[in-house]
Chains A and B, each alone.
Chain A
Amino acid sequence: MTEKTAPSPAGYLKGTAVFLSLAALNISCWYLFFSPKGIMRLYTPMYGFSIIVVLLAAVVTFSVLFDGWPLAKGAGSLPSAGRGAGLTLLSLGLAWFLIFGLFYNFIGRFGVTYFSPAAIVATGETGSEIFNARENASTALVYLFSTFIWLALTWRLGFRAWPWHEERAGALAFSRFVTVSLFSVLAYSVLFHPHVGVLFYPPQKMAAVSPWWETLADTNSAYFHLGWVVCSVAVVILSEALWEEYPWRLIGGEKRQAPFLRGVVTLFGTVVTGFVLFIAMKKGMELYWGRPFVGGQYLDAPYFRYLHAAEMAGFVILGALIVRTYLGNLFAGSVPLVRGIVRTGAALLLGALIMWFYYAAGPALLGTVPGIAQPEDTPLCWSFFMISFILVHRNFFGAYPLRIDP
């Protein structure tokens, strides 16, 4: 990654203006597709949430795993607007194919029932009614594709192109995609599949173990895992966007020796750091709201505390991406440690500001219900939607009209 020179005050202003325009576009799209007070009202919440998570996964696939392939930059490539539009359409198409083709109508119908609303309804079992069915299938998709996003970003930061760095772009893209998918299925089956197994009555005990983390987490809900996974994603994004890939780039030195070691250390390092962040947030919430208890609901629910850790991490990710993309990473002087700390401070501040915005302006702007811990609302849905907008803008459209290094 190249370090750029710091933007001028006018540069900050321009970046802010561009970001606000993007946010306005995002909120309009939210109103059109997701807002409970909008047109299509897909935020039910899980159905809309699953669409957004799969969309984000598709954007991550084309930008992070594929490096823009098959429309990568370079000689003879499309002009940036055409390239951006092309990659955006490819992502939308991939998301649509994954949800409605692969999962709803292939895997769900011929393999794993719970991935398809229609297949769940067709069982005729208790509660197999279309709205429940769609929410349950969506929950499974949210979990699976969150796992995919987490591993894709971590793989990219840790292993980069290894072991396919000498292959052509298409081979690299395909290999990385298949590998990340394989590990995602493994991680999903252990971390989240047991949760989906008890979304039905009777519980699907032959297909899924009872949530093994129950006594560890004081809940049967896999929000426990979602919490630390999103926290780990936040650590990955912070390392990539604000810390110039420190400390992971120290492994193997500037010549990038030992890529395998770097990958493994990055994976474990970001998971441990993410977990520590997760526990710290849990502690913070206990100081603020008191201790949750088994079976409590709303603020008293252990699962809500875990989900909320993920939600806060989501806002931090947004903050980091804004500092990186729209504020030119603030400055380029001093040593990496100082730069990292100052940028992280700014990202946390921005994250807190956006979180405040979500809860304060959400009911009016996003059609959410006032209050925190509302069971049908998770800010993760909107923040993931905004994150995909920023990634599309930065990775597909080169952050036009801003000039940033990719």
Chain B
Amino acid sequence: MDRRTFLKMTGMGGAALAAGGVSLGYPRDGLAAKEDIGEIKSLKVTVLSETSWFNNDVFKKNMMDGGGAMGNQYETAWDKGNSGGYSALLEIEQLDGTKKKLLMDTGWNNDWMDYVFKMHGVDQMIKKKEIDTMVLTHWHLDHFWGIESTLKHNPAITIYAPSTHYPEDLKLLRGGKFEKAGCQNSVPHKGKLIECDASKVVKLMPGVALKMFDVPIILRVRGENVLYFNVKDKGIVTVTGCCHPGILSLYSFARNNFAKGDDVYGSYGGLHITLFETWDPKFDDIIKGLKAFKPEKLACNHCTGWLFAEKAAAAGLPIVKGTDRFKSYKRTSSVAKSSHAFLTNGDSVVF
């Protein structure tokens, strides 16, 4: 039912509703001059691991026993045999042809992350400083607690991370152990820790910008770093860990703040929607909102949830399908369906 029909039908509260339909037109974030972040030639993302845990029911039970979505991740007893991790390798080609590698996130379970890094040669890339920078998207266990797997190859690696950390986060980063939660790091970080706050956009290199969104997140985490790429002749690409701020808020930020930011090409990463295999009316809103931006390539996984990927694809959104590569890993998620709903472990995508 549209507004007009509703007004006709009810004939009450009409004035208020009409006022509700009139655009007041406040262009939030849009008053300052839009920033030109430059351009890159291309971006390749390899999914090192998107299986943060292998059994959803076990993870959920741990979470509920630990105080639910608002509990503290460090005070929850996580089932050690269930943890994996989230991490991706980003290969950027600049306009002049030079290539640069970035590590995004470092997973959760160290055994799993060691295995994953070795499988893709990431351990050597860190050791040889082909990768000298890690972008930590947020301080969630499945993105950060595997920090030792990175630091053991180079404790001096530069880390960009949200400034919204808790004392426990820094303790783990600097070498520490949490018995109950079952995480530890025995290699203190010695490199630069660049703290990103919501007030400004950090430019990592031409065409690559990092923006922190200061939002509250489940398990007492706050703030998420989002990578924006401007790919020549294609448009804006967002790369996220979990995308807790919401994919449309990311697109909206680009549109309001970056030159040519309304030209969204696509996305990679978790979108934090149907991770627990539930649906909600507001997820239908997301599909509708995404369609309005007309993205050309949506490569999602992890906390996006296969349900959303399938529904979005059915609704006509360009979801990039996964392959059988995940079967070459020693362990697979109980959630991974053979339907290849989205990119999973070992898959890659080029923007």
Contacts and interface: CB of A to CB of B under 8 A. Distances in A.
A345 interface: no
Interface string A359-370: 000000001111
B222 A216 contact: no
B33 interface: no
B278 A136 contact: yes
Contact of A222 (B61, B216, B281): B281
Contacts of B285: 218-221, 294-295, 301-303
A51 B281 CA distance: 23
Contacts of A218: 285
Nearest to B28: A290
B207 interface: no
Interface residues of B, number: 56
B10 to A, nearest CB: 10
Given A198-B280, A201-B277, A201-B278, A287 B26 contact: yes
Interface in A286-315: 286-287, 289-291, 293-298, 300-303
A45 to B, nearest CB: 8
A26 interface: no
B191 interface: no
B249 interface: yes
Interface in A199-242: 199-201, 203, 211-216, 218-222
Interface in B233-258: 245-249, 252
A68 interface: no
A29 to B, nearest CB: 18
B248 A296 contact: yes
A374 interface: yes
Interface string A2-40: 000000000000000000000000000000000011000
Contacts of A131: 60-61, 64, 276
Nearest to A203: B279
B206 interface: no
B284 interface: yes
B266 to A, nearest CB: 16
Nearest to B21: A216
Contact of A376 (B26, B60, B218, B276): B218
A221 B24 CA distance: 23
A195 B281 contact: yes
A294 B278 contact: no
B34 to A, nearest CB: 16
B248 A279 contact: no
Given A203-B279, A293-B289, A297-B249, A368 B16 contact: no
Contact of A132 (B25, B220, B277, B281): B277
B281 A219 contact: yes
Nearest to A279: B16
B219 to A, nearest CB: 9
B278 A127 contact: yes
A370 B216 contact: yes
B280 to A, nearest CB: 6
Given A213-B1, A293-B289, A371 B252 contact: no
B280 A291 contact: no
Contact of A216 (B3, B282, B311): B3
A295 B290 contact: yes
Contacts of B97: none
A44 interface: yes
B24 A291 contact: yes
A41 B215 CA distance: 23
A286 B248 contact: no
Contact of A294 (B16, B280, B292): B292
Interface in B49-89: 56-57, 60-61, 64, 67-72
Nearest to A301: B282
Given A216-B1, A219-B285, A290-B28, A199 B278 contact: yes
B253 to A, nearest CB: 10
Given A368-B70, A369-B70, A371-B216, A295 B278 contact: no
Contacts of B281: 195, 198-199, 211, 219-222, 303
Interface string A33-71: 000110001011100000000000000000000000000
B13 A44 contact: no
Contacts of A127: 276-279, 307
Contacts of A370: 216, 222
A300 B248 contact: yes
A283 interface: yes
B278 A36 contact: no
Contacts of A215: 1-3
29 contacts: A36-B71, A41-B68, A44-B69, A126-B277, A126-B307, A129-B60, A132-B277, A135-B278, A199-B278, A200-B279, A201-B279, A201-B311, A214-B284, A215-B2, A219-B282, A279-B20, A283-B24, A286-B24, A287-B26, A294-B288, A295-B285, A297-B245, A298-B249, A300-B248, A303-B285, A369-B216, A369-B220, A370-B216, A376-B69
| 5 closest cross-chain pairs (CB), A and B | A295-B289, A297-B246, A290-B28, A220-B281, A371-B216
Given A36-B68, A45-B69, 11 more contacts: A129-B56, A131-B64, A132-B278, A198-B279, A199-B280, A216-B2, A219-B281, A219-B282, A295-B247, A295-B292, A303-B282
